[in-house]
Amino acid sequence: MGAASFIAGDWGTSHLRLSLCDAAGHLLETRSGPGAAGVVGGRDGSRERAFEQAFASLVAHWEETYGELPAVLCGMVGSSIGWTQAPYVACPARPEQLVDACVTLRGGRLHIVPGLSCRNRLDAPDFMRGEETQILGALQLVPTLRNATRLLCLPGTHTKWVVLQDGVVREFLTAPTGELYAVLCEHSVLVRKPARAADPIDMHAFQQGLAQFGEFPRAQLLHRLFECRSRQLAGELEPGAADAFLSGLLIGSDVHGALRLLSDGTPTPVYLIGSSQLTPLYALALGSQGCESIEVDGAAASLAGLAHVHRCRSAEVALHG
Amino acid sequence: MGAASFIAGDWGTSHLRLSLCDAAGHLLETRSGPGAAGVVGGRDGSRERAFEQAFASLVAHWEETYGELPAVLCGMVGSSIGWTQAPYVACPARPEQLVDACVTLRGGRLHIVPGLSCRNRLDAPDFMRGEETQILGALQLVPTLRNATRLLCLPGTHTKWVVLQDGVVREFLTAPTGELYAVLCEHSVLVRKPARAADPIDMHAFQQGLAQFGEFPRAQLLHRLFECRSRQLAGELEPGAADAFLSGLLIGSDVHGALRLLSDGTPTPVYLIGSSQLTPLYALALGSQGCESIEVDGAAASLAGLAHVHRCRSAEVALHG
């Protein structure tokens, strides 16, 4: 481990994770803070001021110890609910374009990574913010991603399917799979069991949901959802396992639709970038549809992406600064 | 109008509508009461006692005026959260089977209509409770439904698609279209506008949702939902119209999937049985997919079904009683 060199931050809607890193991007220390939605403006009502103060107070201890440190942030911190609005870079987008379009604050010491936009395969506008940094990181962690056409999947509240061609982000597609799962678990009569991330998922019921989806993959999802309830009534599904069955149906649907739209001519495997709770479920769904997968840790990818941006921006300052 | 002859009641989860009718089934008076979920057990904790008392107090004024009256109820009053558990009659089911399987209470004066069950076209168990009475009523109101193969759609929280063959309910399929719409409007970041039944729907945005669905009807619904948000971000959709756009996507998906599964060989039109808020939206979706429709008022169908059961049960008592 080297000396403290910069601060990397993934600042989402509901959570902030700050990492103190050495020059090579190795993690030295971490701190948690409020999500972008939880940063409340001060007496003068300025959002920028509120983010500035929140950030300054979180890094004060590190800066007292190590002096002024550069920082790179990604996520909703760069959105309309964030510190400042970073742009969306339009696809096809090269990694350098993301680095170049960073927004700079704190007298040039802080960079916020822009998001990505595209017209997706279903002729709709599409957006991401935060995942672009994980893609940058994956390109660092898995150099083979820089060649040929590759399909990436970043599962989550809003799952992103991404087509890379020779390291360029060609296009992507969003599926609110995690959000649909959560609202149905918490608010519908179909499941009647709140989703608790901490509970281990019932793998038998998850596989049952995957298998049922696979019986009629072209049926509309709407005509499968009532099964979560009717199979309980019929004694074919344990009431406590309906959430896992629903997860199998939803992830099966997500994977089937994305492979159908995006995998034409793309060689397997699919690169799964995300948490260790989610990527194994997607790996199972991909496997059930004859597709191999390679799992990449989402937090590591995010950190590698932020470190990459830091290195590129530092080099630029050294050249032109 | 004739003299008061019987009481008809549609007792759902969240609402009770009681109707005082003459012998021909014409409406004389109505009363509203608590839904089955709102009937709270008395001090002895008996659910039956609580329903008995709730019903008795609601009809007391009528019985004081007209003497003891027979009654027919349908809906969740016959479920595990209701007065007593009426059975599910398995499809294929003839109308007479529904009449015969009524559960009798209050010394033979009150009948609760059973529900229907089937193994649906997607090899899942399926259930209905309440809609079977609307089907019975529609068979009375629209006698041509008794011949040939007919496709019915009863839109609602849990939309039911029903195949009738010579007046026999062959099978049905449930789509929680209304429930998905409500939970996404109220609890997701995709719409950010609570669904209010009283507000008129933005028909332009509804048609836009239908049209967008129609561009890629075989895409998975999961890959369309984010459009409700991304089109707002891109300035292609008014923020206040995202709920109507979502409604177009969902009803388009429901109609497309149901026609694909159930309409093989079935001649159009589809009979739409429901509220005047919902049936026109389904009629538009059916029309956009080249299918004609005939709208039948849902409350009238329910009343006609309850009156039919009353007539059949009275005739039986007269014969054998």
Best interface-test mutation with B: which of A126, A157, A226 has the largest number of B CBs within 10 A?
A226
Question: Which of chain A's residues have a Cβ under 8 Å away from the Cβ of B234?
Answer: 125
Task: Write down the pLDDT at residue A21.
Answer: 97
Contact B223 A122 (CB under 8 A): yes
Contact B236 A125 (CB under 8 A): yes
Give B242→chain A minimum CA distance, Å.
14
Residue A317, classed as helix, strand or coil, is helix
Residue B75, classed as helix, strand or coil, is coil
User: DSSP characters for A195-238?
Assistant: --TTSPP-HHHHHHHHHHHHHSTTS-GGGTTTHHHHHHHTTSS-
Q: Where in chain A do CATH 3.30.420.310 domains reside?
A: 88-101+115-321
For residue B126, give the nearest of A123, A158, A230 by CB distance.
Answer: A230
Residue A193 in this model has a pLDDT that exceeds 80: no
B128 neighbors B169 (Cβ within 8 angstroms):
no
Question: Which of chain B's residues have a Cβ under 8 Å away from the Cβ of A118?
Answer: none
For residue A236, give the nearest of B125, B190, B231 by CB distance.
Answer: B125
Contact A222 B190 (CB under 8 A): no
CA distance A295 to B108: 65
Report the chain A residue with the minimal C-alpha distance to residue B128: A230
Instruction: Judge if the upstream peptide bond of residue A269 is cis by omega within 30 degrees of 0.
Output: yes
CA distance B102 to B84: 11
Helix (H) or strand (E) holding B164: strand B159-165
B123 neighbors B134 (Cβ within 8 angstroms):
no
Give the ipTM of the model, two decimals please. 0.94
pLDDT tens, position by position, A72-81: 999 999 999 9
Report the chain B residue with the minimal C-alpha distance to residue A213: B122
Residue B198, classed as helix, strand or coil, is coil
Instruction: State the alpha helices, DSSP H only, in chain A.
Output: 47-66, 95-100, 131-141, 177-187, 203-215, 227-233, 242-262, 279-288, 298-320
Contact A187 B184 (CB under 8 A): no
* Residue with the two structure tokens 């991007």: A25
Give A146→chain B minimum CA distance, Å.
26
CA distance B23 to B27: 10
Task: Write down the pLDDT at residue B179.
Answer: 96
For residue A176, give the nearest of B122, B123, B225 by CB distance.
Answer: B225
Instruction: Judge if the upstream peptide bond of residue B267 is cis by omega within 30 degrees of 0.
Output: no
Nearest to B247 by CA among B287, B217, B207: B207
How many C-beta atoms lie closer than 10 Å to residue B127's C-beta? 20
The DSSP code for A93 is B
Contact A222 B158 (CB under 8 A): no
Question: Which of chain B's residues have a Cβ under 8 Å away from the Cβ of A215?
Answer: 122-123
For residue A127, give the nearest of B220, B233, B256 by CB distance.
Answer: B233
Task: Write down the pLDDT at residue B250.
Answer: 98
Give B227→chain A minimum CA distance, Å.
6
Best interface-test mutation with B: which of A222, A233, A236 has the largest number of B CBs within 10 A?
A222
Task: Write down the pLDDT at residue A245.
Answer: 97
pLDDT tens, position by position, A198-241: 678 999 999 999 999 999 999 999 999 999 999 999 999 998 99
Contact A125 B231 (CB under 8 A): yes
Nearest to B18 by CA among B8, B26, B28: B8
B256-B257-B263-B268 Cα dihedral, nearest 10 degrees? -30
B147 neighbors B166 (Cβ within 8 angstroms):
yes
Note if the pTM is more than 0.90. Answer: yes
Q: How far is CA A175 from the centre of its chain?
A: 12
Average pLDDT over residues A250-257: 98
Half-sphere exposure (CA, 13 Å, Cβ side) for B291?
A: 28
- pLDDT-derived band at B199, boundaries 50, 70, 90: confident
Pairs across A and B, CB distance < 8 A: 142
Nearest to A17 by CA among A172, A116, A133, A158: A133
The DSSP code for A106 is G
Q: What kind of architecture, by CATH, is found in domain B123-321?
A: 2-Layer Sandwich (3.30)
| 26-85 of A, contacting B, C-beta below 8 A | none
Interior angle at CA A252, CA A249 and CA A255, nearest 5 = 150
CA distance A22 to A37: 29
Question: Which of chain A's residues have a Cβ under 8 Å away from the Cβ of B125?
Answer: 227, 230-231, 233-234, 236
Task: Write down the pLDDT at residue B44.
Answer: 65
Question: Which of chain A's residues have a Cβ under 8 Å away from the Cβ of B173?
Answer: 223
Residue A136, classed as helix, strand or coil, is helix
How many C-beta atoms lie closer than 10 Å to residue A151's C-beta? 21
Q: What is the CATH number of domain A88-101+115-321?
A: 3.30.420.310
CA distance B20 to B27: 6
A83 neighbors A71 (Cβ within 8 angstroms):
no
| 107-166 of A, contacting B, C-beta below 8 A | 122-127, 158
Task: Write down the pLDDT at residue B1.
Answer: 67
CA distance A77 to A72: 11
Task: Write down the pLDDT at residue A203.
Answer: 97
Contact B222 A175 (CB under 8 A): yes
Residue A317 in this model has a pLDDT that exceeds 90: no
Contact A250 B216 (CB under 8 A): no
* Residue with the two structure tokens 């083979």: A144
User: DSSP characters for A261-281?
Assistant: HH-TTPPSPEEEEE-TTTHHH
Cα–Cα distances in angstroms (integers) from residue B156 to residues A317, B32, B121, in the given order: 61, 20, 20
- pLDDT-derived band at A1, boundaries 50, 70, 90: low
Cα–Cα distances in angstroms (integers) from residue A201 to residues A140, A247, B64, B79, in the given order: 32, 9, 57, 30
Question: Which of chain A's residues have a Cβ under 8 Å away from the Cβ of B189?
Answer: 179
Give A152→chain B minimum CA distance, Å.
16
Task: Write down the pLDDT at residue A275.
Answer: 96
The pair of structure tokens assigned to A2 is 């080297």
Contact A184 B186 (CB under 8 A): no
Cα–Cα distances in angstroms (integers) from residue B87 to residues A101, B10, B15, B16, B36, in the given order: 65, 17, 21, 20, 17
Nearest to A291 by CA among A210, A219, A218: A210
Residue A140 in this model has a pLDDT that exceeds 90: yes
B285 neighbors B255 (Cβ within 8 angstroms):
yes
- pLDDT-derived band at A68, boundaries 50, 70, 90: very high
Contact B183 A179 (CB under 8 A): no
- Kindly state the percentage of chain A with pLDDT values over 70: 94
Q: Is it true that domain A1-85 has CATH number 3.30.420.300? A: yes
The strand pairing partners of B15, in sequence order, are: B34
A293 neighbors A269 (Cβ within 8 angstroms):
yes
Contact A231 B179 (CB under 8 A): no
Residues 6 or more apart whose Cβ sits within 8 Å of residue B320: none
Best interface-test mutation with A: which of B118, B220, B250 has the largest number of A CBs within 10 A?
B220
Residue B67, classed as helix, strand or coil, is coil
Question: Which of chain B's residues have a Cβ under 8 Å away from the Cβ of A259?
Answer: none
Question: Which of chain B's residues have a Cβ under 8 Å away from the Cβ of A218?
Answer: 218
Chain B interface includes A14 (CB < 8 A): no
For residue B222, give the nearest of A126, A226, A253 by CB distance.
Answer: A253
The strand pairing partners of A18, in sequence order, are: A9, A31
Task: Write down the pLDDT at residue A196.
Answer: 62
- Kindly state the percentage of chain A with pLDDT values over 90: 85
Rounded to the nearest integer, the mean pLDDT of chain B is 93
φ/ψ of B104, rounded to 5, equals -110, 135
CA distance B88 to B221: 31
Question: Which of chain A's residues have a Cβ under 8 Å away from the Cβ of B178?
Answer: none
Q: How far is CA B185 from the centre of its chain?
A: 21
SS3 annotation, B207-232:
HHHHHHHHHCCCCCHHHCCCHHHHHH
Give B153→chain A minimum CA distance, Å.
13
pLDDT tens, position by position, A94-136: 999 999 999 999 999 999 999 999 999 999 999 999 999 999 9
CA distance A37 to A52: 14
* Residue with the two structure tokens 């609890």: B187
Contact B254 A174 (CB under 8 A): no
pLDDT tens, position by position, B130-184: 999 999 999 999 999 999 999 999 999 999 999 999 999 999 999 999 999 999 9
| 217-276 of A, contacting B, C-beta below 8 A | 218-227, 230-231, 233-234, 236, 250, 253-254, 256-258, 261
Q: What's the first-to-final CA gap in chain A, in angstroms? A: 28
* Residue with the two structure tokens 């409500």: B182
Nearest to B132 by CA among B83, B81, B172: B172
pLDDT tens, position by position, B219-278: 999 999 999 999 999 999 998 999 999 999 999 999 999 999 999 765 679 999 999 999
Contact A124 B189 (CB under 8 A): no
